[in-house]
Amino acid sequence: MQMLENLIITYINTALLEPEDAGAVNADTELLLEGFVDSISVVHLVNFVAQELGYEVPPEDVTIENFGTARLLSAYLAERGVQAPAGAPAA
């Protein structure tokens, strides 16, 4: 699950954040509550999961309980058997 978590953190830090915030997100950063991502960013994150990890997140699962932090999202995905692709960052 660590590789999956790191892949999500890397994507958020490099693709979703403003340049001045790049690198600010870690596994337990409250993405929505701390304002690092907004609703459009969540859509991009859902698309990332679909395209890069091959899992289509059902709309009813796009909740703060599942997408509130990178750790929560990676746990949600791991529970559904999603794994990081080969070559994903390990740390």
Segment 60-64 shows an average pLDDT of: 97
Percent of residues, the chain, with pLDDT higher than 70: 96
3-state DSSP assignment of residue 82: coil
- Cα–Cα–Cα angle for 67, 70, 75, rounded to 5 degrees: 80
Of the two residues 91 and 33, the one the predictor is more confident about is 33
- The whole-number average pLDDT for the span 48-76 is 97
Q: How many CA atoms lie within 13 A of 23 on its CB side?
A: 2
- Output the pTM of the full model: 0.91
pLDDT band for position 91 (cuts 50, 70, 90): low
Taking CA atoms, 50 is separated from 7, 29, 33, in Å, by 13, 22, 24
Confidence of residue 90 (pLDDT cuts 50, 70, 90): low
Average pLDDT value for the chain: 94
Go through the domains of the chain in sequence order and give each one's CATH number: 2-17+29-79 (1.10.1200.10)
